[in-house]
Structure 1
């Protein structure tokens, strides 16, 4: 009898394991979250991105007209196309676009003419699948993506005028109809947004193969049809193909593209789509997503946590979209890429569509900790970028663009290498980061270090030399800390090590004792006589002194000493949340969306919708009051993240704002990624299981966790009491069980001693 009981228990456990293994996590990841945006106010600034993790191509329904950068708006009522997109942000713009739209009746191709009414009631969006009913045409359109292609399925009514509009967009494009093969081939050169340096041969080649012969076709150029001409090239080109269809007939379009060549586009189509059915392509996409999403299993049966679960997997999905793989496979399966820097086709990996000003903070540390293979490949791409352009990327889309500040590629490289990613071309990467520390790009001030000569001479960037001087100084000082640690690890000369260590303290040169905050300085050493800590822009980047003064990730304890000690440091931290959300916009000449987003969220001067201040909540861990980090982390998670159309509180930014949420929901955050320590906050779920890359499992338990019990009574790691305010990389990577004992009252005895604080450069021995 006892044996039978054990057998039944074993069967139950096995069945539960199999069910968990088969669980579809994509149903919790919601692409429509945060798609309600406009120029004046961001609720994420994302579109429903249908594509595989890190894929070269993404796909999205398009509601925009005439090249509007907000290509999908939740408030819109018309669909203008199903679009191949590479847009990482509406502020950066898109490139390599292509769209298809099924219509019925008269042939129309301009967006304003071809668009169709739709409703969210008949729209389904998942990471691996999109479906919409186009009411004006009585057509249902579906798409399922691959890495470099897509399969679309259009369900038409009975008609002799079933059309598919193909739009290769503007700036110069080309289409060619091959009727005997039911194919459309061509290319688009379109790219927009910001100052970009792209080679003259930049093209996105595409192939579209239908499973049904055309009844007829009409190519178009700019605003007019040119008839049944098979080839057309010009500013904006496209074609409308027409079919005879029976009721509910499915017309299939198999699509792929390539930045290398037309032949490579054909190869990508054969390899990724081939003769697969729509169901097979969709299922492969679902498997690709579950490969990543299933590494994080939230086990929490509270009904009121379903929104948190959805938000968690939605944020995880957003993190896994970027950076984009900008490489392809040749006929022998070798990795090749078109270089958006020198226009050549070269071996090896390339990545793009990432702004390191945003993502160095948490997204890339997440890859290093949980997806080291991805991190290794990204570093390979960085080395190739340097070899091909002579510079590291700071914002790439697809090549270098002029936007944002800092040389934060140093943080990406140093934090990955120092935290275990060793099998990389570190000599090339070191040379690249070293060059960045002493030079600025001759055309793009966002690449390298603008104001670097003055910074290295004076210890700060003067505001009379270049705009955003204080923000640049603070970021360069952190980046110099990254260089210092990397130089140590690589056994560089004592002079090099000492130089970068000294520069890591340059943040002190901006400390304005009169205000206890950071401020811009003139090259003569004077602070601004008209300094206003509420003034946005000018010496700062998309923020003010209250938000940027905390950008001393390498030395929070040193910052606390500057401010007068831990007591005053805490008072200054508290003040961020207590002050009214006022702002001075004179430096911009207008109210920008980041100001409105700060003003409306109810957190005083804490502007979580933009990156520079996101780590600030965790600085209480360096001040002996970790319960305040716990409180504010939960406040932000609960109040500023919702799985709704307006779910984020600002720009999502290539996964960074999502990464803040994912880390914080697990209960810790990488304030200073290079060190490999994670400041402890307040876990969101009662239980999370994480499958680690080394095959081990990390289980995070938060006993008695609920909306009231946000504080930590105690922590144990593998049954050993842990009193410090941080975890180490080694602790997390060894797996095992982390137990948080949650309570409704702050434990003001735990984590109050300096020995419990995370690393600070000033305390380094």
Structure 2
């Protein structure tokens, strides 16, 4: 079976507590993204009972047999998942109320729809659009829809396979639309759509360049072939059919993040409200950087370094256009959400791994602006506040004491200060900036940011053994509960997780963290305790306070990104076998080929990219260091096309569900004693051989503790 045929986009379409996935039809990094529009208010897409239409940019299409509906805005249909087919490249479903078969497929900036009516004499289609929008018929076979969403004007060009006529229209405060009537020979109506952020004529050109002369089946087949080519960059053999389904579905979701919005060599940027020439390099938006810097971007870099460098240059362009590095860049501009300056990690990771096709000096300038001139407050964009100035003078973000009222007006009332998370996450980002400064020859900046990278030490409380909040006067906040402290989502002190997770949020200086915790043995004990510590009461009480902390094993929460690197920290102890054990447990428990098969918010592919790396058997524990930690692969053989005609293969001899422990390892025939490999090992091609067994070899990889962090704070 081909890789594309393993993908099941319905995995994760029921959320464990929060956001579910949608069965998205798109091309890798495509601008056009499609998923059925289901019942409003039902967040679990799989459980939604009705379909209200199919998106086409700023428009939505809903076929019907009744053009004279009294309330066309409420048009919808019951549907059945047993009569539905979802793939990365196409979606089809029976609209049961009217017996209409609906299908859609996509190209990069266009989509193709096919509707089969049971009675050709009564065919119509409802076209919805934003309340501020409009539909203009250009001819009896074409129309253009225009509407503004989140401050950006969208254009959709529609081409119909049969003549249509306007029959009625409606408008309310929230939406508008019109009904189009048609005579569909043999009950068939096809619609082609092109989208643009530039103008209506460009939307028409986008549709024409991608779809002219193509039948629906040809568009669908082309999309299928593109996905097969993208997914087959990683080929796996062995493992179960379910594991392959989860793996390739995870890889599919990892390739949706960041979309090119370049149209015929131009792009609209919301970062300055202007249309720019692309100068031969695509402009990418749509990224959840707090989530994706950890392993999604490193995965994309491994598979497509040329595209990744264009993405980095896109970030540089955004900085040039708006004056700072965005945190969550989208079509409508930046959404300054979550915590940290993690574009620093994204950019430096690419540079550290040897890829330089972007303006490195300008990128460093942008990283430095974010680190010194923009507030660190979560979910806020603006100039420095008194809290930032305190950080720069004292080296930690101050917390409020219990019951103390907030007086800093810039603090978001819901997101709070997140004082410990802000300090720890920025310490890591500052390490990335320091390494970049060193590589570029900026000695003074290197020394300054290296000093800041050690600020995490100021919040480690020796008395309790936890990263803990301090008030502005430097006193520990008391009382402080490392499990329940910080209110909803821990946001007074942390970001969606508690102190048990943030205790290990020092990716850049693991040896320094080990030292703080009393040495390798004590550090290992703390890791062990993380996976067994319970809730001091009911689990529902814990999840009620930490709804993002799903996928629990003790206090470890696979359902939220700050936990991702933690199992691999066992590689920095005398027991790398514990990493192998825990990783297999996590993959088995919290990833399944079912609608509930993703244990937390997918966050633009973050959850899925962790699985791709872990199932292959290695992981980038610290973006910015050109190395990967070895875990426990699921497949007998995994081959990765790394470019230049080279292939890197992980061969896990004797691997099975029982045989999860590494007995011995070789890289290109050379014995490997450490539980890690370099980026150069991977991109140079060759074979990593892991000999697997059902009981741990407690000596393999255990003698490399001192060298594990490769000098502690400096880059590999």
Q: What TM-score, normalized by structure 2, do the two folds share? A: 0.92
Structure-2 residue corresponding to 1:311 = 246
Residue aligned with 2:111, SS:
strand
Instruction: Give the direction of change, closer, same or farther, for the CA distance of 1:481–1:134 in structure 2 (3 Å limit).
Output: same
Structure-2 residue corresponding to 1:522 = 471
Q: In structure 2, which of residues 509, 520, 531 is the aligned counterpart of residue 577 of structure 1?
A: 531
Deviation at 1:764, TM superposition (A): 5.1
Q: In structure 1, which of residues 171, 182, 186 is the aligned counterpart of residue 141 of structure 2?
A: 182
Cα deviation code 1:586-611 (max 9, x no counterpart)? 9999645224x25xx4x110111010
Deviation at 1:214, TM superposition (A): 1.6
- The question of whether the paired residues in 2 share the 8 Å contact of 1:394 and 1:446 is answered with no
Matched, 1:480 2:430: yes
- Of the structure 1 ranges 563-572 and 690-699, higher mean CA displacement relative to structure 2 is found in 690-699
Q: In structure 2, which of residues 634, 646, 651 is the aligned counterpart of residue 701 of structure 1?
A: 651
- The question of whether the paired residues in 2 share the 8 Å contact of 1:558 and 1:761 is answered with no
Structure-2 residue corresponding to 1:454 = 390
Q: In structure 2, which of residues 616, 619, 627 is the aligned counterpart of residue 666 of structure 1?
A: 616
Separation in 2, partners of 1:308, 1:77: 29
**Structure-to-structure mapping, 1:491-530, within 5 angstroms:** 491-492=441-442, 494-530=443-479
Deviation at 1:37, TM superposition (A): 3.1
Instruction: Give the direction of change, closer, same or farther, for the CA distance of 1:583–1:663 in structure 2 (3 Å limit).
Output: farther
Q: In structure 2, which of residues 528, 536, 554 is the aligned counterpart of residue 604 of structure 1?
A: 554
Separation in 2, partners of 1:116, 1:69: 15
- Of the structure 1 ranges 754-763 and 613-622, higher mean CA displacement relative to structure 2 is found in 754-763
- The question of whether the paired residues in 2 share the 8 Å contact of 1:437 and 1:448 is answered with no
Separation in 1, partners of 2:28, 2:446: 38
Deviation at 1:402, TM superposition (A): 3.3
Structure-1 residue corresponding to 2:380 = 445
Separation in 2, partners of 1:264, 1:587: 53
Structure-1 residue corresponding to 2:55 = 83
- Of the structure 1 ranges 513-522 and 102-111, higher mean CA displacement relative to structure 2 is found in 102-111
Separation in 2, partners of 1:754, 1:705: 24
Structure-1 residue corresponding to 2:322 = 389
Separation in 1, partners of 2:397, 2:683: 39
Structure-1 residue corresponding to 2:84 = 123
Cα deviation code 1:574-631 (max 9, x no counterpart)? 1111111458999999645224x25xx4x11011101011110000111121001111
Deviation at 1:560, TM superposition (A): 1.0
Instruction: Give the direction of change, closer, same or farther, for the CA distance of 1:81–1:592 in structure 2 (3 Å limit).
Output: farther
Cα deviation code 1:270-315 (max 9, x no counterpart)? 1111221111111111121112101111111x5xx10000000000
Deviation at 1:138, TM superposition (A): 0.9
- The question of whether the paired residues in 2 share the 8 Å contact of 1:123 and 1:131 is answered with yes
**Structure-to-structure mapping, 1:164-175, within 5 angstroms:** 164-170=125-131, 172-175=132-135
Residue aligned with 2:198, SS:
coil
Residue aligned with 1:429, SS:
helix
Structure-1 residue corresponding to 2:175 = 236
Matched, 1:594 2:548: yes
Structure-2 residue corresponding to 1:359 = 292
Structure-1 residue corresponding to 2:403 = none
Deviation at 1:441, TM superposition (A): 5.9
Separation in 2, partners of 1:614, 1:242: 52
Structure-2 residue corresponding to 1:89 = none
Separation in 1, partners of 2:419, 2:541: 13
Cα deviation code 1:630-681 (max 9, x no counterpart)? 1111111111101110001111111111111111111111011111111111
Deviation at 1:756, TM superposition (A): 6.8
- Of the structure 1 ranges 314-323 and 531-540, higher mean CA displacement relative to structure 2 is found in 531-540
Residue aligned with 1:538, SS:
coil
Matched, 1:54 2:29: yes
- The question of whether the paired residues in 2 share the 8 Å contact of 1:29 and 1:126 is answered with yes
How many residues align structurally?
690
Deviation at 1:215, TM superposition (A): 5.1
Residue aligned with 1:524, SS:
coil
Instruction: Give the direction of change, closer, same or farther, for the CA distance of 1:434–1:263 in structure 2 (3 Å limit).
Output: same
Separation in 1, partners of 2:142, 2:169: 13
Separation in 2, partners of 1:587, 1:33: 27
Instruction: Give the direction of change, closer, same or farther, for the CA distance of 1:699–1:720 in structure 2 (3 Å limit).
Output: same
Separation in 2, partners of 1:579, 1:448: 40
Separation in 2, partners of 1:140, 1:353: 32
Structure-2 residue corresponding to 1:322 = 257
Q: In structure 1, which of residues 289, 293, 305 is the aligned counterpart of residue 227 of structure 2?
A: 289
Structure-2 residue corresponding to 1:733 = 683
Structure-1 residue corresponding to 2:343 = 409
Deviation at 1:159, TM superposition (A): 3.9
Separation in 2, partners of 1:30, 1:435: 42
Structure-1 residue corresponding to 2:312 = 379
Separation in 2, partners of 1:549, 1:606: 11
Residue aligned with 1:168, SS:
strand
Separation in 2, partners of 1:265, 1:166: 17
Separation in 2, partners of 1:110, 1:145: 30
Instruction: Give the direction of change, closer, same or farther, for the CA distance of 1:54–1:720 in structure 2 (3 Å limit).
Output: same
Cα deviation code 1:26-46 (max 9, x no counterpart)? 1111111111138xx13x621
Deviation at 1:157, TM superposition (A): 1.5
Separation in 2, partners of 1:208, 1:626: 57
Q: What TM-score, normalized by structure 1, do the two folds share? A: 0.86
- Give structure 2 stretches of 5+ with no counterpart: 401-407, 412-416, 485-489
Separation in 2, partners of 1:98, 1:480: 43
Q: In structure 2, which of residues 112, 126, 147 is the aligned counterpart of residue 151 of structure 1?
A: 112
- The question of whether the paired residues in 1 share the 8 Å contact of 2:39 and 2:49 is answered with no
Instruction: Give the direction of change, closer, same or farther, for the CA distance of 1:688–1:445 in structure 2 (3 Å limit).
Output: same
Residue aligned with 1:741, SS:
strand
**Structure-to-structure mapping, 1:104-115, within 5 angstroms:** 104-108=65-69, 113-115=74-76
Deviation at 1:475, TM superposition (A): 0.6
Instruction: Give the direction of change, closer, same or farther, for the CA distance of 1:764–1:50 in structure 2 (3 Å limit).
Output: closer
Residue aligned with 1:297, SS:
strand
Separation in 1, partners of 2:42, 2:430: 36
Deviation at 1:532, TM superposition (A): 0.8
Deviation at 1:97, TM superposition (A): 3.9
Separation in 2, partners of 1:404, 1:263: 38
Instruction: Give the direction of change, closer, same or farther, for the CA distance of 1:756–1:27 in structure 2 (3 Å limit).
Output: farther
Separation in 2, partners of 1:128, 1:583: 46
Deviation at 1:364, TM superposition (A): 0.9
- Give structure 1 stretches of 5+ with no counterpart: 1-22, 85-95, 192-197, 223-233, 330-334
Separation in 2, partners of 1:111, 1:662: 44
Deviation at 1:555, TM superposition (A): 1.0
**Structure-to-structure mapping, 1:529-544, within 5 angstroms:** 529-535=478-484, 536-544=490-498
Separation in 1, partners of 2:600, 2:429: 25
- The question of whether the paired residues in 1 share the 8 Å contact of 2:67 and 2:180 is answered with no
